[in-house]
């Protein structure tokens, strides 16, 4: 890729991830100030270009851009000329011609952000593409985990997650979050086990560097973190589970299951949560849940990504 952008966690590698997490550390401090805003990207414009529904990712990118003093533009396919038949290419070229500096692209098809990056001058950030990747969610998750571990250990956040055992549970097959998290957690040294019925796991995990299991109760005693995924109903083309009740019974973090877990086991979910299916409402709000930290971290890591892509060299050097 010639122009800087962020399409995949794989493009970052361990060093790129650690660099962004360090930058995010300083932006998380900005968020704690009475006026949580810095002038770093004054005069730059960030457009969110979303062809698929979103609450947190779009608002998180827009919040991140605003805290860096960038201008923001919001494009949502449902209220645009896409409904009149305008093509993806014409749409993004139109936005590009308006002089936007970065486009955050979300689309139901894998590979769309990469295509867009080939058409526009703006830096392109993948805001979630089909079943492929969601790199900034994975960065938010790594940031959250390192913070949680530092809180527990009483020290500064470490650069790696070595020795941490994470179970990613549920609809891994259709989850871009899982794909990006496997790459990012793996790069930082965590051990990942994917848990779900065979129908909801990828047909092959060769080369993923993960373990696979089909019994949640067996795995729960062995891990430090349980990361629950939503069933991606909009991507299911056939019946992957006999019934949601049965799914919850076997793979949901129900109240009964949570009661049996050690107190220090952490619970994560990228949202949107379907309470009562993959996670019990009370468990989602309990002390072990990192769901709100994940959202908070999302803003800090997206500030880091936008800053790294859009700040001029002298600003990046602190000048």
Smallest distance, Å, CB 180 to ligand NCD?
9
β-strand pairing of 165-169 with 71-76: unpaired
What SS3 state is found at 107? strand
Instruction: Check residue 180 for interaction with ligand NCD (CB under 6 A).
Output: no
User: Any idea what DSSP says for residue 80?
Assistant: S
176 makes contact with ligand NCD (CB under 6 A): yes
As a whole number of angstroms, the distance between CA 114 and CA 124 comes to: 8
Q: Which is nearer to ligand NCD, 56 or 250 (CB)?
A: 56
Q: Considering the rule CB under 6 A, would residue 293 count as an interface residue with ligand NCD? A: no
CB of 294 to ligand NCD, least distance (A): 8
Residue 201 CB, shortest distance to ligand NCD, in Å, is 16
Sign, Cα dihedral of 296, 297, 299, 303 = positive
CA dihedral 254, 255, 256, 257 (to 10 degrees): 50
Q: Is residue 177 involved in binding ligand NCD (CB under 6 A)?
A: yes
* Least Cβ distance, residue 138 to ligand NCD (angstroms): 10
Residue whose CB is nearest to ligand NCD in the complex, by number:
230
What is the per-residue binding string for ligand NCD in 195-234, x denoting contact by CB under 6 A? Answer: -----------------------------------x----
271 forms part of the interface with ligand NCD (CB under 6 A): yes
Q: From the CB of residue 177, how many other CB atoms can be counted at a distance below 10 Å?
A: 25
Total residues interacting with ligand NCD, rule: CB under 6 A: 11
Q: Map the footprint of ligand NCD across residues 49-88, applying CB under 6 A.
A: 56-57
* Residue from 196, 270, 289, 291 in contact with ligand NCD (CB under 6 A): 270
Assess 179 for contact with ligand NCD (CB under 6 A): no
Residues 304 and 68: their CA atoms lie apart, in Å, by: 10
- Quote the Cα angle for 101-121-137, to 5°: 60
For 172, the token pair is 């891994």
Chain centroid to CA 170:
16
From CA 115, how far away is CA 64, in angstroms rounded? Answer: 24
Which residues lie near ligand NCD (CB under 6 A)?
56-57, 128, 134, 137, 176-177, 230, 270-272
């Amino acid at each position: 890729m010639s122009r800087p952008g962020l399409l995949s966690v794989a493009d970052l590698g361990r060093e790129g991830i650690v660099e962004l997490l360090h930058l995010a550390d300083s932006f998380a401090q900005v968020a704690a100030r009475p006026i949580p805003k810095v002038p770093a990207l004054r005069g730059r414009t960030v457009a969110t270009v979303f062809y698929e529904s979103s609450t947190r990712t779009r608002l998180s990118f827009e919040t991140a851009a605003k805290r860096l003093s960038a201008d923001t533009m919001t494009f949502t396919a449902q209220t645009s000329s896409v409904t009149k038949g305008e093509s993806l290419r014409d749409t993004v070229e139109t936005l590009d011609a308006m002089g936007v500096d970065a486009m955050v692209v979300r689309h139901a098809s894998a590979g769309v952000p990469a295509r867009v990056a080939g058409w526009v001058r703006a830096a392109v950030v993948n805001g979630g593409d089909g079943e492929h990747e969601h790199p900034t969610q994975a960065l938010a998750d790594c940031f959250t985990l390192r913070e949680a571990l530092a809180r527990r250990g009483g020290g500064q956040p470490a650069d790696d997650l070595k020795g941490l055992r994470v179970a990613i549970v549920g609809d891994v097959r259709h989850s871009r979050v899982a794909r990006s998290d496997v790459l990012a957690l793996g790069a930082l040294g965590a051990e990942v086990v994917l848990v779900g019925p065979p129908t909801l796991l990828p047909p092959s995990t060769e080369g993923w560097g993960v373990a696979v299991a089909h019994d949640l109760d067996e795995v729960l005693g062995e891990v430090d973190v349980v990361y629950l995924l939503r069933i991606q109903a909009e991507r299911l083309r056939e019946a992957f589970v006999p019934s949601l009740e049965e799914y919850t019974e076997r793979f949901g973090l129900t109240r009964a299951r949570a009661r049996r877990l050690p107190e220090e086991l952490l619970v994560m979910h990228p949202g949107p949560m379907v309470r009562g299916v993959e996670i019990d409402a009370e468990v989602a709000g309990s002390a072990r849940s990192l769901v709100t930290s994940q959202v908070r971290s999302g803003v800090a890591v997206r500030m880091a990504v936008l800053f790294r892509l859009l700040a001029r060299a002298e600003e990046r050097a602190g000048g």
